Amino acid sequence: MTTIYILAAIVLIIAILVVIFRLQVLSAVLKGRYEKRVGIGNDINALLFVIVFVVGVGAFWYSYQQASEFFLPAPSSEHGVKTDQLFWVTMAILVAAFLVTNALLYVFPYIYKYKEDRKAYFYPDNHKLEMIWTIIPALVMAGLVVFGYKEWTAITSPAPKGAEVIEIMGKQFAWQVRYPGKDGVLGNYNYRNIDAVNEFGMDMNDSASYDDFIPREMHFPVGKPVLLNIRARDVIHSVFLPHFRVKMDAVPGMPTHFWFVPTKTTSQMREETGNAKFNYELACTEVCGRGHYAMRFVVVVDEPAEYEKWKASQDTFASLNRDYAAEKAPKLVSLLPAKKVEATEVSAPSDSTAVPADTTATK
């Protein structure tokens, strides 16, 4: 608190001195003793332009250095490398343009500050100069747009054959994912089928639905194309996988998709970041309601063999909800896998010599 008082006192003292100085100048002007049209304040203000610019650039660089430790690590996907390149190229162009234009904006008032023996030069226009500063930014912008459009087209085009297909559905306020089973095909869905059990709205009359499974965490195989089929159940959400540079809106009634190739497993990222608890994450970047903050989902990137082992260990939705599946599609009950027999503890055979427990009541 003492520091605040001291700073406030310094500011007040400076303000008082400025007012006194201005009053002296005004008094001299009224008495006819002030011959200059401008005073030292003009030089001070001109110099302040340069100081503000230099301090501002220094503060910008300092903030960048301080924030750099919180930047995302190198991308964990193939297209992410090009996405980062596009970002940093765009940033470099914008920073360069900002520094050049603002250097002129702040330095010119110092160089061309008012002097009583200087006359202004009337310079109405220069068509060549105007063409240069119009055409060059237009060409640079066109190049960035073409580069960005090329990358966007690549990741939103049809996925390569053999890609792992995963469905992501957003709802208030959670993510759910669905994988196809051995047939590699996701079953159909219809929003009319959504109920307390069937939150995806899966069509149980579609035989492809009977081997689909809904895990509690999402897994990707490293080095293999992954196609995300994205939709929303209620409001707009946004699928965000920051380490893979994946971002796509989930819109009700308008399915979207995004495909990419993961390049680093979870264990590799833990070694790279030095964080043994590191996990990839699926988050929502659309403010979708009061519970928006809770829309987080764990993502694991496995080696291909581990990924296939994980898939094989998952129970299908139909097998976990046998009665529901049988009620909705009685004709397809035969597609349900055999129910797992849980091991039960077998009691030892009774021993004829054993003494039975005394069940008589004591008096």
Q: What is the pLDDT of residues 127-181, one digit of tens each?
A: 998 999 899 999 999 999 999 999 888 888 899 988 999 999 999 999 999 999 8
Q: How far is CA 65 from CA 75, 98, 283, 312, in A?
A: 20, 19, 26, 47
Please give the Cα distance from 317 to 208 (Å, whole number): 12
pLDDT at 344: 45
Q: What is the pLDDT of residues 324-362, one digit of tens each?
A: 988 888 878 777 766 665 544 444 444 433 434 443 433
Please give the Cα distance from 282 to 299 (Å, whole number): 7
* pLDDT band (50, 70, 90) for residue 258: very high
pLDDT at 29: 67
pLDDT at 326: 87
Exposure string of 303-321, with b = 16+ CB inside 10 Å and e = fewer, is eeebbeebbeebebbbbeb
* Terminal-to-terminal C-alpha distance of the chain: 82
Tokens 């903030």: give the residue: 63
pTM (2 d.p.): 0.74
Q: What is the pLDDT of residues 182-224, one digit of tens each?
A: 888 999 999 899 999 999 999 999 889 989 999 999 999 999 9
Domains along the sequence of the chain with CATH? 35-116+128-156 (no CATH), 164-335 (2.60.40.420)
Whole-number average pLDDT of the chain: 86
* 20 strand-pairing partners: none
pLDDT at 329: 84
pLDDT at 39: 67
